[in-house]
Amino acid sequence: MSLSHSLSLEVVLVQARLEAQGIVSYELRAPGNEALPAFTAGAHIDLYLPDGMTRSYSLANDPGERQRYVIAVQLAEQGRGGSAWLHSTSRIGERLRISLPRNDFELVQDPGLAVFICGGIGITPALSMIHLRVRQGLPWRLLYAVRSHERCAFVEELLDLEQRQGLGQVQFFRSDDDERLDMQRVITTTPADAHLYCCGPQRMINEFIAATSSRPPTLVHYERFAAASEAATGGGFEVVLQRSGTRISVEAGKSILDALLENGVDVQYACSNGVCGTCRTGVLEGVPDHRDDYLTDDEKRGNTAVMVCCSGALSPRLVLDL
């Protein structure tokens, strides 16, 4: 679950930079420019935004840096408002609250080749990992797929990292130039002992999982933007809030989270896609229709928790620990 606000930090937005079409990076520092808590490559923070919004963003800078955190945010046209607020309303000098860094996408410390396969904004956790590999003098390779040249973020930084020690290689794939990444070919031609990392849209992750199915699981690592299953929006069931006894109908076309928010229920959420764990809610009665990629298989079988942003119900009623 997300760390509570009691464990949050205050930071100052000191720089916003356009990295690509629709992508802006934000540099965050402590108010007195003192050292921030250390983080590991691939880590992310929760950013607590106005109106109770919480959003998770990967840290993109070198984990050896202690004076700043850098995140990059892509404007989501159909999002819930977090990216829109950052792109249009946030101001330099503004004070924000964030969670302590945590990591669900660890870089394995291995001297062999590390291969990063990224799509779009999925470059952000890999960028932090590449910084660390360069600093450690270890080999790496990046394959970065985007829709167009204009949507390719951190190009100068990546090319600079490629040149620093001669141990890295960057390859761009732009679909508008018909330079599409052939996932199966990439995996087939990669050394069998290389660690493989993938972050990007659902289609890319699914192709990556299929292409690496014969590789040892310890060498295969990925982070999703959204759960593999589509969100449950069929509705037709009721949620009961145990603490107040409130009953809320979840209608067709709505998620549990939609219904809770529309009825004024204060519930934390971030990714809205079933991957970050922020909206994990206890289940006291009923059978959830699990659609997330956060709970383990054993946790899903136990039916004691549900990710309300994307999961539904297989029973007429769910009693939630709210």
The neighbour count for residue 66, using CB atoms within 10 Å, is 14
The domain boundary residue, chosen from 47, 74, 98: 98
Of the three residues 98, 125, 144, the one that is the final residue of a domain is: 98
The whole-angstrom separation of Cα 226 and Cα 25 is 21
Instruction: Say whether both 247 and 145 belong to one domain.
Output: no
Q: Cβ neighbours of residue 248 under 8 Å, at least 6 residues apart? A: 238, 239, 240, 241, 259, 260, 263, 265
Residue 42 belongs to a domain with what CATH number? 2.40.30.10
**And the tokens for 30?**
């402590």
Length of the chain: 322
pLDDT digits (tens, 9 = 90+) for 175-202: 887 788 999 999 999 999 999 999 999 8
Q: φ and ψ at 249, to 5 degrees?
A: -85, 135
Name the pLDDT band for 2 (thresholds 50, 70, 90): very low
Residues 218 and 119 both lie in one domain: yes
- Whether 264 is covered by a domain: the verdict is yes
Query: Is residue 232 in a domain?
Result: no
- Residue 74 structural domain: 5-98
In this structure, are residues 24 and 73 in contact, taking their beta carbons and an 8 Å threshold? yes
User: Domain total for the chain?
Assistant: 3
Q: Are strands 95-98 and 114-119 parallel, antiparallel or unpaired?
A: unpaired
3 state SS of 211: helix
Both 153 and 54 in one domain: the answer is no
pLDDT digits (tens, 9 = 90+) for 51-85: 777 889 999 999 999 999 999 999 987 656 789 99
CA atoms of 28 and 69, how far apart (whole Å): 5
pTM of the model: 0.81
166 torsion bin: left (phi>0), alpha (psi -120 to 50), beta (else) = left
CATH number, position 290: 3.10.20.30
CB 197 within 8 A of CB 114: yes
Q: Is the pLDDT of residue 3 over 50?
A: no
In a domain, 284, yes or no: yes
What amino acid is encoded at 76 in this protein?
A
Q: Note whether 133 and 61 are same-domain residues.
A: no
The C-alpha atoms of residue 37 and residue 50 are separated, in whole angstroms, by 23
Q: Given 57, 72, 98, which residue is the final one in a domain?
A: 98
Task: Tell me which residue of 112, 115, 63, 102 sits closest to 221, measured CA to CA.
Answer: 115
